[in-house]
Amino acid sequence: MNKVSRAVLMSLGLLIVFGSSIATAKAQSLTSAPQPSAELQSLTKALAEDWSLSVNFEPSSPAPKGLVNTGEETWRPGPGGFTLLEEEHLHMPDGDLFLLGVIWWNTADNAFHGMECQNRLPYTCDVKGAQNDITMSWDGKQFVIDEMETSKSGKKSVWHEVWSEITPNSFTQTGEYGEPGGPRKRLFTIHATKVANSQIKERSSQSNDAGPAPEMQSLAKALKGDWSTTYEFAPGGISPTGGTGTGEENWRTGPGGYVLIEEEHVRSPSEEMFLIAFHWWDKTTNKLRGMLCNNSGPAACDFNTNSNSSLNWDGKQLTIDMGFPQNGKKMTWHEVWSGITATSFTQAGEMGEVGGPLKRAVAIRGTKLAPEAASKRKGQ
């Protein structure tokens, strides 16, 4: 399989297709497929549980005596273990806070990277901050996140967060704030306790905002659920001779419904693929945005899939258009989810040179799984 074929194949079933890093990824066989890094596996093993939270805020001008609140969060691996997801819900005096964190390992710089999405950000997911402002470390005992923040006046501050005293049943989390290189002020301390058979449940937002955008609610309603998928590859596109494949997709909303998550597992004749996509509404541009993560390339999550893509949902069809370079030419990938019903959908991917005709590369058919069938499959 050539490099372009690999890139297209890795995009199947996702909101966003290949970026430049995926387009240059090498094909891998089933037996030699990449595995999650040891560092990410270690962090996942330490935190992947359901937790009940007691949040203690330090005294401040709005709360001279401090505050104590509660919450819950779930840490779990994404498809294939190439990402680690944190889904959090905090009960705050001024309204609920819903947060989704995504963490991955980049073999190019041998470092953790991550992105935060939450209901109090106008753009929902902070892609810019994830690219430029966040550093992470894990030494096997403590997980540390430092984020550089710049005010409108240009003043820089550092947010310092630490997960420590991690045991199978508990951990402590602290948040501090201060100037770079200077002293920091403790803002909160979280004590987490492991809980059994618990998940963060979807709740209506009680924040001061209006909740998830109508477009997000409509898209989630159309695609949420567990799907069995079949793939037909056109000759000469992804595969010179064509071929078929099978897989599964799960579409679900993150905390509060502000992010729609698609998790996918694909089995093709030549390889096995694990993918996860995040879709959200950006109030600053009034547009649907997204990002793709998969088991190809040095970084599980590719920021190019956010910057180079255009997404549209008209209530019936979900459409993605994305540009990418190939042999000095400007190319386009065009993907459409259509014929969406309560039990099925059709998905088609086409590619070609910008301004020229597009050629069918793949056709995907999704069939909704009954709840009992979905539970049985997840347990396998």
Question: pLDDT tens for residues 95-148?
Answer: 899 999 999 999 999 999 999 999 999 999 999 999 999 999 999 999 999 999
pLDDT of residue 237: 61
Instruction: Output 32 or 62, whichever has higher pLDDT.
Output: 62
pLDDT of residue 197: 63
Distance, CA of 365 to CA of 350 (rounded, Å): 15
- What strands, in cross-sheet order, belong to the sheet with 243-253? 301-302, 287-294, 272-282, 259-267, 243-253, 225-233, 359-368, 344-353, 329-338, 318-326, 309-313
Confidence category of residue 44, pLDDT binned at 50, 70, 90: very high
Instruction: Output 208 or 232, whichever has higher pLDDT.
Output: 232
Helices (H) and strands (E) in the chain, counts: 7, 21
Q: Are 1 and 9 in contact (CB under 8 A)?
A: yes
**Mean pLDDT, rounded, for 31-58:** 90
pLDDT of residue 14: 36
Domains of the chain: 3-16+210-378 (2.40.128.20), 38-194 (2.40.128.20)
- In 3D space, the residue among 109, 165, 100, 154 whose CA is nearest the CA of residue 135 turns out to be 109
Confidence category of residue 165, pLDDT binned at 50, 70, 90: very high
State yes or no: pLDDT of 23 exceeds 60: no
Cα distances (Å, whole numbers) of residue 337 to 44, 219, 340 = 33, 11, 7
Q: Where do the DSSP E strands lie in 123-271?
A: 134-138, 143-150, 156-164, 170-178, 184-194, 225-233, 243-253, 259-267
pLDDT of residue 103: 98
pLDDT of residue 213: 96
Distance, CA of 347 to CA of 337 (rounded, Å): 4
**Range of lowest pLDDT (237-251, 256-270, 303-317):** 237-251
Placement of tokens 């567990």 in the chain: 226
Q: Where do the DSSP E strands lie in 234-271?
A: 243-253, 259-267
Quick: pLDDT tens for 268-322.
Answer: 777 788 999 999 999 999 999 999 998 877 889 989 889 989 999 999 999 999 8
**Mean pLDDT, rounded, for 345-355:** 94
State yes or no: pLDDT of 24 exceeds 50: no
Written as one letter, the residue type at 116 is E
- In 3D space, the residue among 163, 205, 209 whose CA is nearest the CA of residue 188 turns out to be 163
State yes or no: pLDDT of 7 exceeds 50: no
- If you average pLDDT over every residue of the chain, what do you get? 86
Collect all residues with Cβ–Cβ distance below 8 Å to 326 and sequence separation of at least 6.
4, 23
State yes or no: pLDDT of 26 exceeds 70: no
Quote the percentage of the chain above a pLDDT of 70.
84
The number of CA neighbours under 13 Å toward the Cβ of 371 is 0
Distance, CA of 265 to CA of 378 (rounded, Å): 12
**Range of lowest pLDDT (9-18, 149-158, 225-234):** 9-18
> What is the token pair recorded at 198?
């618990």
Pick the most confident of 141-145, 264-268, 354-358: 141-145
Handedness of CA 133, 210, 257, 17 (dihedral sign): negative
State yes or no: pLDDT of 12 exceeds 80: no
Distance, CA of 75 to CA of 85 (rounded, Å): 6
State yes or no: pLDDT of 377 exceeds 90: no
> What is the token pair recorded at 167?
């045991």
Q: Which residues pair with 331 in a beta bridge?
A: 324, 353
